[in-house]
Amino acid sequence: MRLALDTNRYVDFCRGDPAAVAHMQEAERIFLPFVTLAELRAGFLCGTKARQNERVLTRFLNSPRVRVLFPDDQTIHHYARLFQQLRQQATPIPTNDIWIAALVLQHDLPLYARDRHFDHLPQLVRL
């Protein structure tokens, strides 16, 4: 199984949530959208355990099963279509999550996230 990881599920994994740990252990490959990485690092800087959290994240990123996803021209087209869809549906979601959804669709990955607003994008495969 391959999966794309949202910020809240990485946090769940680090906190030892049994379901998150199981999904991460079962995953053959784990993809971390650049936005997820940015949100994590921003959160670390606003917290009291920045160095500790960064060490754990660096260890995670160094796993051969983990890859960071960055946008390219194709991602931008996915983003634009999702933005239009959400606007027509009158169901806006946070901009960062549109980027995550665009990368997930582009790379044909299931998304592991808790955010209910991703339900407004039925084309996303969710865990």
**Mean pLDDT within 81-96:** 97
Domain of residue 110, CATH code: 3.40.50.1010
Q: Which of 118, 121, 107 is nearest to 6 (CA)?
A: 118
35: containing domain? 2-120
Any domain includes 67 = yes
- pLDDT at position 44: 95
> Residue 33 pairs with which residues in a beta bridge?
69
In a domain, residue 126? The reply is: no
Query: From CA 109, how far away is CA 68, in angstroms rounded?
Result: 13
Bridge partners (DSSP) of residue 112 are 5
User: In 3-state terms, what secondary structure has residue 124?
Assistant: coil
Encode pLDDT of 111-127 as tens digits: 999 999 999 999 999 99
pTM assigned to the model: 0.94
Q: Tens digits of per-residue pLDDT, 21-48? A: 999 999 999 999 999 999 999 999 999 9
The domain tally of the chain equals 1
Residue with tokens 């606007």: 87
At residue 55, the pLDDT reads 96
